[in-house]
Amino acid sequence: MNIHATPDTTALRLLDRGRDLLRDRRPADAALLLSRAASLPAAPAEAHGLLAEALMESDDAPAALIAADAALSLRDDAALRLLRARIRRALGHADGAMDDAAAAVMATPSDRDAKALLATCLSEAGRHDEAIFLFHQAFVAEPEAPHRSAMLAMAMMRGGRHAAAEELYALAHSMAPYARGILPLRAQNVLLGGDPHKAIALIEGALGRQQGEAALYSVLGQARQRLGQAEAAAEAYAEAARLDPTDTYLQHLAAAMTNAGATPDRASDRYVTDVFDGYANRFEAALFALGYRVPGVMLKLIEGQGYTPGGRHLGDVLDLGCGTGLMGATLHDMLGGRLVGVDLSPRMIEVARAKGIYTELRCAEINEAMAADTAHYDLVLLSDVLCYFGRLDAVLGAVAARLKPGGLVALSIESGEAEGGWELQASARYRHDPGYLRAALERAGLATLEFREETLRWEGEATVPGVIALARLGG
């Protein structure tokens, strides 16, 4: 490179080389060059935009968002809006992603990819009819493209229209019989439609051709589990985990079903996020249908300490694993201070935000959130959270550090005899021995005030036993 080149010439050369590296699927190398281009005086919007693309392909979405913001500050156009929408969606910023995708569609109404991304955002937000309308437009414009029919099928599936989704998935599969991803989704849709036998037949018919696809074995495990074939389900999950050892969701399921290898002492962030992102729009209805009792019992325990809607109010409350905000809504009338919610699932956070009762909501892992927090609280809530942790000492110690002197913690566990105090169940949740919980509370400096052995909810034909407890820092 000519060291006497003007900044403009240098930037152009770096941009050209960066584009070449992106085409060669070398995003990390491209990001190094493009970061240099973006740092030059008067760097064009394109430099920041290409850097955002390279960072996104390098799995660094937070840095990609900064670069995309910089690009849009210099030039607001549809392509950059679409790029930022993809980045925001990857980060779980659902509202921002939808806004950017909508802006891209308004700027270029004929852009099918922009319409598809907006439709995806709408579908994930539960706005199924609007999503189906946009996906259908893209499908009609390009009916020979299997990914268009597959995307419309996914919207139909999310909207509960499983028969229509099956027709579209079958069409996509006929056009691209060996394309990865289509058959697992087709089988998943059939399973959600209530036909595990057909889901198994679809997968087993394809295993000779697509043996290396982990998603096939994952859906096969779900279908076998639905039929009560625990051993066959465990074998399918184990094979899925073997095929994709980096997928912590599959690793957790395999560990729960097979009891093989070392048992993880907590569910992975990826597992928790994936489960609840997919569950957010129907979470509360599903829990109420199972006779979910935790919020009501916790409310009675807290009222037993003298807190009432018309009398003594709670101070600052930290709701860990707040989900859709059920506990926040339950305690709303007795709040006298801030209500801060923390959850790993961006979709659950969005539902909680819509309730308008939280002072602040943070999308984070709860231990990391507590470590970064400097505030102290009068009450910390752990409602249906500890079932995703095996060992409890670290999380209860972190809770104690966030309590004011005399502050309360209300928590629930799934209970049962467990060697070593806790065990991972086939449900992929942990259960704890009540004696282990008592000892863990004591080690954290938390004195037990209430310790109720309760039925938490129904699961299938059986009840789920548990403990709902209230403890105070310092006795």
Q: In a 3-state reduction of DSSP, which class is residue 432?
A: strand
> Rounded CA gap, 280 and 293, in Å?
19
> Rounded CA gap, 303 and 313, in Å?
10
Cross-strand bridge partners of residue 446: 473
Token pair listed for 385 = 């959270």
The label of the residue with tokens 């050892």 reads: 245
CB contact set of 27 (below 8 Å; sequence gap of 6+): 21, 53, 54, 55, 56, 57, 58
Alpha helices in 259-383 (DSSP H): 269-277, 283-289, 294-303, 326-331, 346-354, 366-372
282-295 pLDDT, tens digit each: 788 888 888 999 99
Is 257 exposed, middle or buried (CB count within 10 Å of its CB: 0-12, 13-18, 19+)?
buried
Per-residue model confidence (pLDDT) at position 468: 98
Per-residue model confidence (pLDDT) at position 475: 58
Q: If residue 456 lies in a helix (H) or strand (E), which one and from where to where?
A: strand 446-459
Per-residue model confidence (pLDDT) at position 393: 97
Token pair listed for 233 = 């389900």
The label of the residue with tokens 């919207």 reads: 155
**Average pLDDT of the chain to the nearest whole number:** 91
DSSP-derived pairing of the beta strands 446-459 and 462-473: antiparallel
104-133 pLDDT, tens digit each: 999 999 998 999 999 999 988 778 899 999
Q: In a 3-state reduction of DSSP, which class is residue 392?
A: coil
- In the chain, the domains with their CATH numbers are 272-473 (3.40.50.150)
What pTM did the predictor assign? 0.73
322 alpha carbon, distance to own chain's centre: 13
337-378 pLDDT, tens digit each: 999 999 999 889 989 999 999 999 998 999 999 999 999 999
379-407 pLDDT, tens digit each: 999 999 999 999 999 999 999 999 999 99
For the chain, percent of residues with pLDDT exceeding 70:
97
214-271 pLDDT, tens digit each: 999 999 999 998 898 989 999 999 999 999 988 888 888 888 887 655 678 899 888 8
The label of the residue with tokens 């007795």 reads: 334
Residue 238 corresponds to which amino acid?
Answer: A
Strand 446-459's sheet: what is its strand order? 360-363, 339-343, 317-320, 377-382, 403-414, 462-473, 446-459
291-346 pLDDT, tens digit each: 999 999 999 999 999 998 888 999 999 999 999 999 999 999 999 999 999 999 98
37-60 pLDDT, tens digit each: 999 888 899 999 999 999 999 999
> Rounded CA gap, 439 and 270, in Å?
29
Per-residue model confidence (pLDDT) at position 4: 38
Decide if 67 contacts 44 (C-beta within 8 A): no
Please say if the pLDDT value at position 138 is more than 60: yes
